[in-house]
Amino acid sequence: MAEPTDKTRASRRKFLVSAAGLSVTSLAAAGAAARPSFADNSKNLPPNVADWTRTLGEGVGVRAYGNPSKYEKDAIRRTVPWLTATPESSVSFTPLHALDGIITPSGLCFERHHSGIAEVDPADYRLMLHGLVDKPLIFTLDELKRLPRVNKIYFLECAANSGMEWRGAQLNGAQYTHGMVHCVQYTGVPLKLLLEQAGVKSNAKWIMAEGGDAAAMNRSIPLAKAIDDCLVAYRMNGEMLRPEQGYPVRLVVPGWEGNVWVKWLRRLKIGDQPWYTREETSKYTDLLEDGKARQFTFVMDAKSVITSPSPQASVKQKGFNVISGLAWSGRGKISRVDVSLDGGRNWRTARIDGPVFDKACVRFYYEFDWNGEELLLQSRAMDDTGYVQPSKEALRKIRGVNSIYHNNGIQTWALKANGEVENVEVG
């Protein structure tokens, strides 16, 4: 179904020919369009010697901890003030439109806190493990660091990601519609090792994870998942966890909704049934049309989004352009991503580039030649269980529109003739 048709093959050929035939002038024009500041500052352009070549640069060590270039001001977290009542119980969004590859830079990972960022002193950090165990244990941070550790790349998606889009297109930007996701490398101890040390009783079935923040946010997780692949993580992208992400220790629950990834982790209690905490009763349940609610809907189904072009990343010129996006699945590996230019009527297989890890983001591309016509851009992810990301229409048929959570429907961006992009719905 998604094999290229003769028509798309032909246009791919045409694209290759025209890309190879780009002249020096058209490359310069493309550069000027992409970097307007150069045009204002023509004394820095070839054949002149640029200002930055005429003077010595700043010395080493001045930037004890490096920051991005001052020209990269667009790549920042953003909030939607009307979404939440207070900054302490709020969310900021990952600038997906400004990023590439699969790893989210630590400082750009979206943040979701219920009671602000806990400032935990690592010297006073303790992790309690108790309940239905032979030997209750308390670990210091140093003790956790002395245990065998693993490195894993996983996505984390808040169950409320795209939650504002259930009733129709709302927020204009991939950052806002899909930016409650990040993907980083974690270093930590398999939770299984801690459980083995404590000795889990035979009637144990659930584990409760509790945070050390003012919300003491807590969730019940089936013990089977805890033993399977959960991590007690203390590093992300090589360095210690950022305070926003739960410094010094957070729970990593691969492929499952972000809410169960408890930050500032202080306690793990083993039990024989769930605790029915606030976060799994009044929140994080999915109210269906018939008044029933789905509960413990942990897994994040396969999802994808075109990050560029998107409302915050318009198309600068006709001709050679690259569609780029992210796909992820909480059930396993992404096996394929398709892209449509016509609102889902025809699909072409996108090119996945970079590593494809289990329960991690993958990066896809689709190169195309834009003649200036209006397009309806979509992407559709598939995972190795055979699951195919549904249309929003199909999703609403089974879930209704009462829920906030687990909206993994296909996103549509309308590319206008002037290159601007808008969040729309088709069908």
Residues of the shown chain interacting with ligand MTE in the complex, contacts defined by CB under 6 A: 109-114, 156, 158, 182, 211, 213, 215, 217, 244-245, 258-259, 261-264
In this complex, which beta carbon is closest to Co ion, that of residue 133 or of residue 158? 158
Phi-psi region of 400 (alpha: psi -120 to 50; beta: other; left: phi over 0): left
Do 309 and 323 meet the contact criterion of CB atoms below 8 Å apart?
Answer: yes
Q: How far is the CB of 244 from ligand MTE (least distance, A)?
A: 6
**Closest among 169, 188, 154 to 333, alpha carbons compared:** 154
93 binds, among Co ion, ligand MTE, none (CB under 5 to 8 A by kind): none
For residue 323, give the amino acid letter.
Answer: I
Q: What is the token pair recorded at 221?
A: 């997780």
Q: How far apart are CA 216 and CA 264, in angstroms?
A: 9
Torsion (CA) 108, 110, 114, 116 in degrees, nearest 10: 10
In this complex, which beta carbon is closest to ligand MTE, that of residue 210 or of residue 229? 210
Taking CA atoms, 329 is separated from 4, 72, 202, 381, in Å, by 24, 30, 32, 8
Q: How far is the CB of 316 from ligand MTE (least distance, A)?
A: 31
Considering only residues 115 through 174, tell me which ones interact with Co ion, judged by CB under 5 A: 158
In this complex, which beta carbon is closest to ligand MTE, that of residue 98 or of residue 251? 251
> Which region, judged by CB under 5 A, interacts with Co ion, from 108-116, 285-293, 310-318, 320-328?
108-116
Residues 6+ apart with CB under 8 A from 420: 311, 314
Q: How far is the CB of 283 from ligand MTE (least distance, A)?
A: 8
Do 295 and 280 meet the contact criterion of CB atoms below 8 Å apart?
Answer: yes
Q: Please, which residues bridge with residue 273 across strands?
A: none
Taking CA atoms, 332 is separated from 6, 80, 222, 313, 361, in Å, by 32, 31, 18, 30, 11
Considering only residues 247 through 306, tell me which ones interact with Co ion, judged by CB under 5 A: 258-259
109 binds, among ligand MTE, Co ion, none (CB under 5 to 8 A by kind): ligand MTE
Q: How far is the CB of 157 from Co ion (least distance, A)?
A: 8
Residue corresponding to tokens 């606030």 = 278
Looking at beta carbons, which residue is closest to Co ion? Answer: 158
For residue 94, give the amino acid letter.
Answer: T
Per DSSP, helices labelled H in 153-219 are 174-178, 191-198
Q: How far is the CB of 212 from Co ion (least distance, A)?
A: 18
In this complex, which beta carbon is closest to ligand MTE, that of residue 110 or of residue 166? 110
Q: How far is the CB of 259 from ligand MTE (least distance, A)?
A: 4
In this complex, which beta carbon is closest to Co ion, that of residue 56 or of residue 85? 85
Q: How far apart are CA 127 and CA 144, in angstroms?
A: 9
In this complex, which beta carbon is closest to ligand MTE, that of residue 258 or of residue 274? 258
Q: Is 190 in the site for Co ion (CB under 5 A)?
A: no
261 binds, among Co ion, ligand MTE, none (CB under 5 to 8 A by kind): ligand MTE
Q: How far apart are CA 199 and CA 194, in angstroms?
A: 9
* Residues in contact with Co ion, shown as a per-residue x/- string from 380 to 399 under the rule CB under 5 A: --------------------
In this complex, which beta carbon is closest to Co ion, that of residue 112 or of residue 235? 112
In this complex, which beta carbon is closest to Co ion, that of residue 112 or of residue 380? 112
**Closest among 128, 110, 126 to 248, alpha carbons compared:** 126
Q: Which residues bind Co ion (CB under 5 A)?
A: 112, 158, 258-259
